[in-house]
Amino acid sequence: MGGKPSHPELLDWLAIWFRDEARGSLKQLHRLIVTSATYRQSSTVVGRASPRAHIPSEQSSSRVSPHQLDQENRLLSHMNRTRLDAEQVRDAILQISDCLDLRMGGPSDIQFDLQPGIHVTPKVDYSKFDVDSPAARRRSVYRFLFRTLPDPFMDALDCPAGDQLTPVRNASVTVQQALAMWNNAFVAHYAERFAARLESLAKRREEQITLAYELAMSRPPTPTESAELAAYAEKHGMANLCRLILNSNEFMFVN
């Protein structure tokens, strides 16, 4: 679009390296990029300018964060936060509830109720599908896609329809997503399974909450979080607490 590149020297160096060292190998170029320090940064916005941000010295200040100087993050001071894909959200819910079926290969699993239609097109009803059935626990890559009638839950999470070419996925944040993650039968059921797993592994409420965070967030809760979650679980039960965790930004987004 006529805009200047943010890192022209880096592009020049990569072009020469790609030509002379990688000998035109895209695989080596991809490996170089994804194993670089910049690519592997977290989404945490540091409090002072990072050397990798390449912020001009006259603009640098210990009192101004890179986010304030570069709000669109064109200088790559941190990773942009991205939401998990629809399939990743679904599989992560199954994984932490200890229900994910890791079988490889085989036919696709139909995750909707299928009945004969009046004409050629059958009747497809996702609401009548048993979310506790073995077919519901397969990895999302093995879902049977009915191209013209996508799964409403997956559709809300920006999963592309099977009848469209989608070179780049949307990554929206909408009210429909929040409603789906809170009210969908699949989420509600496996929140209960998650709670049952926690109660089988730990007896004390504090231990259950710590284990829930370690499984869902890969970290223990802070003392404040632990106290607030314990009060919530006491009032609403562990299943609703697990559903609350599944709806948190830390679970839904890659940090």
pLDDT tens for each residue of 22-38: 999 999 999 999 999 98
Judgement on whether residues 235 and 122 belong to the same structural domain of the protein: yes
Structural domain containing residue 117: 83-255
Judgement on whether residues 242 and 155 belong to the same structural domain of the protein: yes
CB 123 within 8 A of CB 115: yes
What pLDDT, on a 0 to 100 scale, did the predictor assign at position 47? Answer: 54
Residue 106 within a domain: yes
What pLDDT, on a 0 to 100 scale, did the predictor assign at position 138? Answer: 94
Judgement on whether residues 137 and 193 belong to the same structural domain of the protein: yes
For residues 126 and 249, what is the distance between their CA atoms, to the nearest angstrom?
26
Judgement on whether residues 213 and 241 belong to the same structural domain of the protein: yes
* Alpha helices (runs of H) in 43-171, residue ranges in sequence order: 66-69, 86-96, 152-156
Judgement on whether residues 94 and 213 belong to the same structural domain of the protein: yes
Residue 18 within a domain: yes
Give the domain-ending residue among 40, 69, 98: 69
* Alpha helices (runs of H) in 97-222, residue ranges in sequence order: 152-156, 175-183, 185-201, 205-217
Judgement on whether residues 43 and 154 belong to the same structural domain of the protein: no
Show Cβ contacts of residue 12 under 8 Å, excluding neighbours closer than 6 positions.
Answer: none
Judgement on whether residues 150 and 88 belong to the same structural domain of the protein: yes
Return the sign of the alpha-carbon dihedral for residues 233, 237, 242, 245. negative
pLDDT at 66 > cutoff 60: no
Residue 252 within a domain: yes
Q: What is the pTM of this model?
A: 0.77
Judgement on whether residues 30 and 100 belong to the same structural domain of the protein: no
51 secondary structure, DSSP code: G
Residue 119 within a domain: yes
Judgement on whether residues 121 and 14 belong to the same structural domain of the protein: no
Give phi and psi for 254, each to the nearest 5.
-85, 120
Bridge-partner residues for 101, per DSSP? 138
Closest among 43, 50, 47 to 75, alpha carbons compared = 50
Judgement on whether residues 106 and 37 belong to the same structural domain of the protein: no
207-212: average pLDDT: 96
Judgement on whether residues 168 and 108 belong to the same structural domain of the protein: yes
The total domain count for the chain is 2
Judgement on whether residues 87 and 63 belong to the same structural domain of the protein: no
Token pair listed for 200: 């089988």
pLDDT band at residue 2 using 50, 70 and 90 as cut-offs: confident
Give residue 134's region: left, alpha or beta (phi > 0; psi -120 to 50): alpha
